[in-house]
Amino acid sequence: LVGGVVRDLLLGQTNFDLDLVVEGNAIELAQQLVEINHGKITTHPRFNTAKLQWNKWSVDLATARSETYAKPGALPTVTPGSINNDLFRRDFTINAMAIELNPTHYGELIDLYGGRDDLEHKLIRVLHEKSFIDDATRIWRGLRYEQRLDFQLEPTTLKLLKRDIPMLDTISGDRIRYELECILKEERPEKVLRRAEELGVLPKLSPTLKGRGWLTEKFKRARQLNFPNPPPVGLYLALLIYPSN
């Protein structure tokens, strides 16, 4: 069991996004599980991953892997690896932990990079200094986790983030849109946008976009109008492009 679900378990929070990593062929394992439990399977051979679905439940399975990047912003080249390799490729230390599910070590925490300590100290920390260069979408994810969890960017990570803001130009529009939609699904997306403005990240979306003032008020109003349900992402997107005057 890896990633965000481990982080949230340690924080005592609910997370039903289940991610499993195996040191073996994840697609073959997924096919065997589907035969036993009669679920639905979707495979992605390029990344050696599979998604299993049973009614409302889903589980993502992946072969433990290492990743290399041919150039900044490119999708990674994937090769099979160990769980150690797999955890090192992740975005932040708090997402680079795993819980053993095999019978011999069932329930043991694998924490090679100090993720639990960073959770306790409420820090967002990258695993290496090229993290944002390899994948600049991590800049947006870092801000999102920081605001959602009420954490802080660790000082060196903050320095690297500011240095690598230009790397956002290497990311495709589709990937930026996906990260933006993830932000807009947060409980208070304007907090992320205000922080992005403060650090100089927001102009990479639009030079005229402001995270304070009218935007905060319009997002708040959208939640009031949609209560008790959260506003749809499309409404937030419309507010982002609606002229502030």
Give the CA dihedral 235, 205, 208, 214, nearest 10 degrees. 30
Q: What is the pLDDT of residue 36?
A: 84
Per the CB < 8 A criterion, the answer to whether 201 and 143 are in contact is: yes
Q: What is the pLDDT of residue 245?
A: 46
Question: pTM for the full model?
Answer: 0.89
| Segments of the chain scoring below 50 in pLDDT | 245
* Cα separations in angstroms, 143 against 74, 78, 192, 193: 21, 26, 6, 9
Q: What is the pLDDT of residue 231?
A: 87
Q: What's the first-to-final CA gap in the chain, in angstroms?
A: 48
Domains and CATH numbers, the chain: 1-121 (3.30.460.10), 128-245 (1.10.3090.10)
Q: What is the pLDDT of residue 175?
A: 94
Task: Report the distance separating Cα 123 and Cα 119, nearest Å.
Answer: 6
Q: Where are the alpha helices (DSSP H) in the chain?
A: 4-11, 26-37, 83-88, 115-120, 131-134, 137-149, 155-163, 173-184, 189-199, 214-226, 233-241
Q: What is the pLDDT of residue 212?
A: 67
Per the CB < 8 A criterion, the answer to whether 175 and 214 are in contact is: no
The DSSP element (H or E) to which 80 belongs, if any, is: strand 77-80
Q: What is the pLDDT of residue 213?
A: 67
